[in-house]
Every structure is written in structure tokens, then in C-alpha cells.
Amino acid sequence: MKSLEQGLDRRAIIWIMNWTFSGTAGCTAVALLITYYYIVPFGGELMATSMRLALFIPLLLAIPLFAFIGIKLQQLALANDLLTLASRYDGLTGCLNRAAFTSDVTAFFADQDLEPFPPTSALMVLDADHFKRINDCHGHLAGDQALVAIATEMRQAVDGSGLTGRLGGEEFGVFVPYARPETIGAMAERIRLAVAERGQAIAPGAEPVTVSVGVALFSYPAHYEDVFKIADDQLYLAKNTGRNRVCLVEYLRRPGGIRAMANQLREGLAGVFTETFGSGRDEPGEEPSSVAGR
């Protein structure tokens, strides 16, 4: 993240130089015009002396003045940028904080409601398994390292195709706005495996750091709160069936809409929509399920 201690970059220095040159040239031109207007009646000798003074005095005063003001303006702009970053990003992991993540995702939802052919998107909710044990047994520094490792693997897996956020504590969110159903499960699984592999080295001698992942794959129109509820229910399903696994539910315009689906999950019917991740098997006599769980 940028810092005021790093100084001004090349772009800022060029702006300061242009600002100083433009301001000095403007002040000098005004001084020459005013001097000429008032001194011209007094003859050529006085005119020459006065014009030299009108040229050199603004140069001596304006150059340092405009350079100083320009530096302070750029430092102020940098400070404002840092405040914006601090208000949007989590200082430890570098992910969006909960407010910024929710705001950005909600804005995307609203835009898609106006599109005739909105894309399929995915929302993941991740949670570190047995995170309290890491803090209690190995200290909060090890816990911070675990959170940073999880955030790093999330960003590498998403690779600029979505948003990553720290929702609070050891819980994270990933939003992929243009998600292909055949790849989103693989992305979630890639995050899970990468965290488990990297987590071996965070607290030697202890259980490796792992994550449980709940995924909601959906199409629009939809409400963020409903989609988040579905993904969160899948996360708890992953927690309750052994942790260190991915549970994914896919919504493809079921009757009643995604809100009806969220309400069903709230009423404890999550099991109706869940099966083993990647198995592709359904109960006899039922419609093929579009839900996968791991």
C-alpha cells in the first residue's frame, strides 16, 4: 500500500513542474502588463528599468511559492488516496473490507437487473477451520499469518476475475461476476487445496490451516442478502460435514426465484438441494439436481 514516506512519484513531480512553470509564467505576464500600462507615460528609461523589475521579481518569488504549493497539493492528494484505501481495504490481508465488498457487489447486482441477458455469477463465503486453536496454541501472530495466507491464495485463484473481501474475523468472501458453472467449483476447490498446502508451514507441529467454502452459483435478478444467505448456509453445511471442503449450490431460475430458495434454506431445507460435490448422482424418482456439495 502506498505511504507518504515513499515520497512523490514521477507523475506527481511532472505535475508540480508544470504547475510551477504555468503559475510563474502567468504571474510574470500579469506583472509586465500592469507595469507597462502604468509606466509607459514616464518615458523609455524608466520603462526599461520597471519592466526588468516586473520580470525578475515574479520569477524570484513565484517559482519557490508555486513549487511549495504544488508539493503540498500532491501530498494532500496522496493523503486522500491513502484515506480512501484505508476506508475500503483491510489493513492486514489487503482484501476489501466488509462494507466495501458489500457495496461493490450490491452495485453490480443493481446494474445486472437492467441488462437483458445478465451473466451467471458466483458468491463464495470462506471460513478458516478451528481458527481459535491457532490463536490459543500458537499466538495471534500465527493467526495473522494464517489470514494473510488465505487472502493470498484467494487472490491468486481469482486472478483479477472477481472481488475478494474480508467479511470479519476469519471469514472471507469472493465474488466472481462472470462465472462459468463448469469452472467455479474448480476455483473454490483450488483455493481450499492451496490453503491446506500452505497452511502446513504456518504453525509447525499443529494441524494445518484449512478453510471451509460455501458457494452460491446464480443468475439474475437476485438480491445480495438472499445470495449471501445461500452461500452462508453452504458454508455451515461444509462445517457440519467435516470441514476442509467445498459445498456448492446452483440456482437456475427455480420456481419462485432465488428469494424463495433462500427462504427454503432458512426453513432448514438445505439438504433437499445438496449432494456430494462432483458425484452427479440423484435420488431415484427425482429431477436431476443442480446442486453439488463437498
**What positions carry a catalytic annotation?**
170
Distance CA 179, CA 186 (A): 11
| Contact (Cβ atoms closer than 8 angstroms) between residue 199 and residue 211 | no
| Contact (Cβ atoms closer than 8 angstroms) between residue 56 and residue 94 | no
Say if strands 211-219 and 292-293 run parallel, antiparallel, or are unpaired.
unpaired
Distance CA 196, CA 256 (A): 38
Cα separations in angstroms, 277 against 39, 214, 270, 289: 90, 12, 15, 11
Measured in whole angstroms, how far is the alpha carbon of residue 139 from the centre of its chain? 28
Distance CA 271, CA 140 (A): 36
Say if strands 163-168 and 292-293 run parallel, antiparallel, or are unpaired.
unpaired
| Contact (Cβ atoms closer than 8 angstroms) between residue 138 and residue 207 | no
Which residue type is seen at 189? Answer: E
Distance CA 196, CA 190 (A): 10
